[in-house]
Amino acid sequence: MKAAIIGSAALEYNGGAERNAVQIAYILKSLGYDVTLFSPEPFEIKENVKVDFSYINNAFNGDIFANKFINKISNGVSIGFVGLFSFKNIYEKIKGYDLYYFVNPNFLFCNSLKYFHKNNAKPEVILGNHGTYFEILNKKFYKKILSNLLTLTIFRYLKTNTTKIQVQNGFQKNFYKKLGIPDNLIYEIPQCDIDFNNYEINDDNNFNVLFLNKLTENKGLSSLEKLIKKSDFNINVAGYSRKLDKLREKYNNYNNVKFLGYINEEEKYRLLSKSDVMLNLSKYESLSVSSIDGLASGLYLIGPDISGLNCIKTSVPDYVSIIKKHSVNQYINEIHRIRDIKNNNTENYLKLRENIKNSSSKFFDKTVINASLENMITENKTTNQNISIVTASLNEYDNIDIWLTQIKNLIIEKNIKNIDEVVIVDDGSDDGTIEKIEDFKKTSPPFEINLIKRNKKMGTVNAQITGARSAKNDYLIILDCDLQHPVKFIYNFVQMFNKGFDIIIGSRYIRGGKNNWSADRGVISRVATTIAHSFFPFTYNIKDPLSGYFLVKKELISNLYPYDFMYKPLLYTLIFNNKNKKYIEIPVEMMNRVNGSSKIVKSYSKTILFYSREIIIYWRDNLKLKIKF
């Protein structure tokens, strides 16, 4: 098997993306792949950088955007445009691999997907999201300008492909979810190659704040300068750049700051072991390797509200301080708070640092990261996930065995492989419904029956949420078992399921759909739909938001509060899960009940009363949660 890693910079530049590329290369090698790393940048590899996989330097030198001069004057931005105009020649160099790992989303990635499809090639494709530039989209100004542009260009082939996507943090994950990428293709793995065993914890009786970074404007130069001016604690600044050199000339006579210049790995470990706080002053960061250095040495992290630090804080919330407004005074106050902890009891403080290190290692140690990356590479998540059917029952003696038999026959006749569970939540049937279900179990159906017996009627929505929580699969088909929802349409849901939708709505009111109810009941349904559209304008584009027949991702319905006597589960699900969800309507037919009577209402007046109450409650709770449509 052959694997290609595409889009890293030159290996002698020891940045996060380069280290990540090498880390992926060694994992692929351990899995038996013959690995080639294609670097677009025209630099020579240094003698002290040793790799035992193929490394093609300046791989795309025929492309104007890979030109050394163009790349230099664009500050590296031009690399993202490699392959925009000359991809046909590039494809001849990179074709024929079994697996492709793209370090960043760029035109190389976009046009590769296009050419794979054009040439009927079906390799495994993984998209990494390494590097600070992607995080610029987290800022409102850039987000408005660039998000649509990226969707129309770099990501335009993504939805039609089974690409696995490795994201570094929650911001990146949400970005792809907004594009409609299914959760099962997104892997949130904050990648770093730090071995926590290499780091020690010591104390030199002083309180030391450390800034360890490749300093550029977006890494916090202005904030660092303000801190130097106002601080009453020691700041050690490690690293070298022209801008940092100017800062050193300006503040070298300040007693509270030491400019250490370039430091090697051994010096870095020694410096970290005797520090107390790690500053990360970046404006953008997907996951700062320097911050993980700090955690590995048991240091508190302090920094602005950026996606990388928020990612770390999610894992170790007690040891990361986010300064929301990037206020220097707030930085100083937080540093003083940590200094007081140390001054109160140094022995306990050192134990606390050990706890920071141990807690962080569970998420960010190299061995943990490598295991997650290996799982991402080997796991086959592109196959169909299984689906559970969920229904509520109450005195359905005349219908339940017919309904179950129809499902059984449909699965066998249509050879449906991914429905393996039927969840029935019964609200105290006393007419023999339970016995019929138990008898049907003995017929060895091609699915497991999960029967949940409750002692009293608690409402349809309540029952369906209970069933959703008990279901073993991540996707659910919700329908009634009274035969008003024809079982045959389950096959249509399964066919559409592979497209990656969060919600698939069985609609009576789109072309091909049909409502066979009586005229007066049909009028009430239409009026109820109009009311839903009026109260919740985002549903206006959904023709049948009150459908009781739909496929839904389990997490969207199982986490809802189970109101008693609510009976519009789809509307409920849509209202409280509207943001960034991908849905579609497919035509279904609604039948009149043949056997038994409705368990919800006994008259149209009660129907109107219950529905009005339901709408008001949804509206009220929607306002409480301040959900924006």
How crowded is residue 273: how many other Cβ atoms within 10 Å of its Cβ? 17
For 362-415, the three-class secondary structure string (H helix, E strand, C coil) is HHHCHHHHHHHHHHHHHCCCCCCCCEEEEEEECCCCCCHHHHHHHHHHHHHHCC
Q: What is the pLDDT of residue 97?
A: 92
Helix boundaries (H) for 153-220 = 170-178
Phi, psi of 223 (to 5 degrees): -65, -40
272 and 199 Cβ atoms separated by less than 8 Å:
yes
Q: What is the pLDDT of residue 74?
A: 66
In the chain, the domains with their CATH numbers are 2-188 (3.40.50.11930), 196-364 (3.40.50.2000), 387-625 (3.90.550.10)
The CA distances from residue 628 to 345, 578, 585, 624, in Å, are 48, 9, 23, 11
DSSP class of residue 136 equals G
Helix/strand/coil for 137: helix
pTM over 0.85, yes/no: no
Helix boundaries (H) for 16-139 = 16-30, 68-73, 87-94, 107-118
Structure-token pair, residue 271: 């410096």
Query: Which of 407, 433, 471, 460 lies closest to 571, judged by CA?
Result: 460
Q: Are β-strands 503-507 and 550-553 bridged in parallel, bridged antiparallel, or unpaired?
A: antiparallel
Q: What is the pLDDT of residue 296?
A: 94
Q: What is the pLDDT of residue 216?
A: 45
Q: What is the pLDDT of residue 603?
A: 54
Query: Which of 337, 298, 297, 345 lies closest to 321, judged by CA?
Result: 337
Residues with Cβ within 8 Å of residue 137, at least 6 apart in sequence = 143, 146, 147, 150, 175
Burial class from Cβ neighbours inside 10 Å (0-12, 13-18, 19+) for residue 389 reads buried
How crowded is residue 305: how many other Cβ atoms within 10 Å of its Cβ? 13
Mean pLDDT of each 10-residue bin along the chain, 629 residues long: 82 71 89 88 56 81 77 69 83 90 89 85 88 68 64 74 86 82 84 91 88 62 84 86 79 85 86 92 82 93 88 88 85 92 91 92 91 85 73 93 96 91 94 94 93 85 88 93 94 85 90 75 73 76 90 87 70 77 88 60 61 76 52
Q: What is the pLDDT of residue 530?
A: 78
Helix/strand/coil for 208: strand
Q: What is the pLDDT of residue 381?
A: 47
Residue bearing tokens 């949804």:
618
| Rounded distance between C-alpha atoms, residue 49 and residue 472, angstroms | 49
Residues with Cβ within 8 Å of residue 239, at least 6 apart in sequence = 211, 212, 213, 214, 215, 261, 262, 263
Q: What is the pLDDT of residue 627?
A: 41
